[in-house]
Amino acid sequence: MKLVTWNVQWCLGCDGVVDVARIVRDARAFADFDVLCLQEVAANFPALKGSAGEDQFAALAALLPGFTAVPGIAVDTAGPGATRRSFGNMILSRYPVVQAMRLQLPWPFDAVKRSMPRLLLEATIDAPFGPLRVMTTHLEYYSATQRAAQVEAMRARHAEACGHALAAGAVAGDQSHGPFQRQPQTVSAILSGDFNIRPSDPLHARLAAAFDDAAVPALEDAWQCLHGALAQPPTAGVYDHDQWPEAFACDFIFASADLRPRLRRVAVDATTAASDHQPMLIELA
């Protein structure tokens, strides 16, 4: 199973052109992905540089027929007339999506920082080796206070989901095909996205820290699991030197510890300039 994650900057390339099709084309050139996790997808935001206000959620879904599209809207505001403006994350999966969840992340007030709402988007997919919880997010950039609260909320969500999975045998199943019907639960998870932290940031270590309940598998940095002390290549500022004076890594893929035997490859694509970020790949077998 191949998963690609990418902060697409509302499909704005380093050439100043918004091109949704180029995002899909370059992602496919990187890998024949089964799951695509995207951050910074926009709809009806013509104020964004290069954008005509196109509905990128709909356009991406149309460009990937045969994939289940799961949008995750973090910012939902009024547009002209009765329209809405949306900004957030998206998961597209070739495998069946048995359940999708959207967790609005904490947004504590920070008087000295600009900020916007953030979301953790989760899709439980029927992977070839069993149920897999795929999570993607884009954490706050400006406010360290908000970013820290968001990390704790994601850890709590992972522990909560594992609690459901570990107790599955003790809970009577509901087969009514109604909203109470119990869906497959799993401790196996991937967490990907733009975390707006560096590898040396204490929040990176916090994300990968063990849980008090030993039955909850830690979320390990997949690059470090496969490459050890070798530094992850930069994922921002590789081509966009106007926004970023230097290139650095802030996009990561974490995998639950039980998936470590399945890890085959983790890589960063350094070739595309279709966004200010570079896509990352994880391959499981």
Contact between 58 and 30 under an 8 Å Cβ cutoff? The reply is no
Number of H helices, E strands in the chain: 5, 12
Model-wide pTM > 0.75: yes
Q: For residue range 7-51, what is the model confidence (pLDDT) as tens digits?
A: 999 999 999 999 999 999 999 999 999 999 999 999 999 999 999
Structural domains counted in the chain: 1
Q: For residue range 167-204, what is the model confidence (pLDDT) as tens digits?
A: 976 666 677 889 988 888 999 999 999 999 999 999 99
In terms of Cα–Cα distance, which of 103, 96, 130, 147 is closest to 256?
Answer: 130
Q: For residue range 93-140, what is the model confidence (pLDDT) as tens digits?
A: 999 999 999 999 999 999 988 999 999 999 999 999 999 999 999 999
Tokens of 260: 């470590």
- Average pLDDT estimate for 142-164: 97
147: number of Cβ within 10 Å? 22
Pairing of strands 189-194, 130-138: parallel
Q: Look up the CATH number of the domain holding residue 116.
A: 3.60.10.10
Question: Quick one: pLDDT at residue 187?
Answer: 97
Could you give the residue ranges of the DSSP H alpha helices within the chain?
20-30, 56-63, 144-166, 202-207, 222-227
Pairing of strands 35-43, 2-7: parallel
- The range of the structural domain enclosing residue 49 comes to 2-284
Alpha carbon 132 to its chain's center: 14
Share of the chain above pLDDT 90, in %: 94
Query: Tokens 């890594």 belong to which residue?
Result: 249
